[in-house]
Amino acid sequence: MMFEGFQLEMIDLPEATLRVRHGGSGPPILLLHGHPRTHATWHRVAPLLARSHTVVCPDLRGFGRSSKPADSPDHEGSSKRAKARDCVALMERLGFPTFAVAGHDRGAYVAYRTALDHPQRVSRLAVLDGIPILERLERCDARFAQAWWHWFFYAQPDKPERAIMADPDAWYGGSAERMGDEAHADFLEAIHDPATVHGMLEDYRAGLGIDRDHDAEDRQQGRRITCPLLCLWSLQDDTHELAGDMVGIWRSWAADVRGRGIDCTHHMAEEAPEELARELLAFLKG
């Protein structure tokens, strides 16, 4: 059974309603998924962490079965700042005024935004396969544009939705063998829902505009992440190859940074759950 012993519920927050899976006991850690996943991507990692921690896994707003923000010209409702507000409100609702947070892929951007905007709330930050959006865009060259063309295609109006919804299975791939039967079924439900596909794409539209602006404002004003930061990356993915020195990049945003690669492809929570859990637990213990 996926997430055995965990509770699944819809939680109403000031700005969104999130589908949330939570369980375990002890110090809290919030796990944030990436695109095009839901919280179910953590189903092999969360039980390992729950032996010593309270683990909270939401669908980000716009993703999965969580509510979808209203569209606006600046995409503010899909910004990482808006999703960070959800994170703080969710953990407060569950009784955790401070918490650790780990995010993968698009969830990594929400995780570090939460640490920047709410430093008094975040005790430790883990970013998986990610660097700040501003840093990524400043390193954009022909290699990046060829490999990560989807960033720019997804940010276009209307056309990405039509392309994806013509054949979501072919577009996104994914398999029950790799993901697990229940997690794969949850993923299929998400990618076949037009509202969810639109919500996921709005995350990219926010990324190239308002999220980039927020990063630039932080740099200009000298804001830095004040908690310890763990950076992990997939060795069989191209994130680190295109970015360069991942740990070095994060050291320009935070004082206490450590990190290393994990031998897997992009979805490390599904492919290397034991190793990922060990790294997270060691980091949480200090």
Task: Determine if residue 125 is left, alpha or beta; phi over 0 gives left, psi from -120 to 50 gives alpha, anything else beta.
Answer: beta
Confirm whether 105 is a catalytic residue. Answer: yes
**106: helix, strand or coil:** helix
| Distance set, CA 213 to CA 17, 134, 144, 274 (Å) | 26, 8, 20, 36
Out of 118, 184, 192, 266, pick the active-site residue: 266
DSSP state letters, 205-256: HHIIIIIHHHHHHHHHHT--B-S-EEEEEETTSSHHHHH--HHHHHHTTBSS
| Distance set, CA 238 to CA 61, 234, 241, 260, 266 (Å) | 27, 8, 5, 14, 9
Confirm whether 117 is a catalytic residue. Answer: no
- Dihedral sign computed on CA atoms, order 215, 218, 220, 222: negative
Nearest Cα to 27, choosing from 91, 90, 104, 96? 96
Q: Are 250 and 131 in contact (CB under 8 A)?
A: yes
- Dihedral sign computed on CA atoms, order 90, 96, 97, 100: negative
Q: Is the peptide bond before 73 cis (omega within 30 degrees of 0)?
A: no
Out of 105, 117, 186, 237, pick the active-site residue: 105
Positions marked catalytic: 105, 266
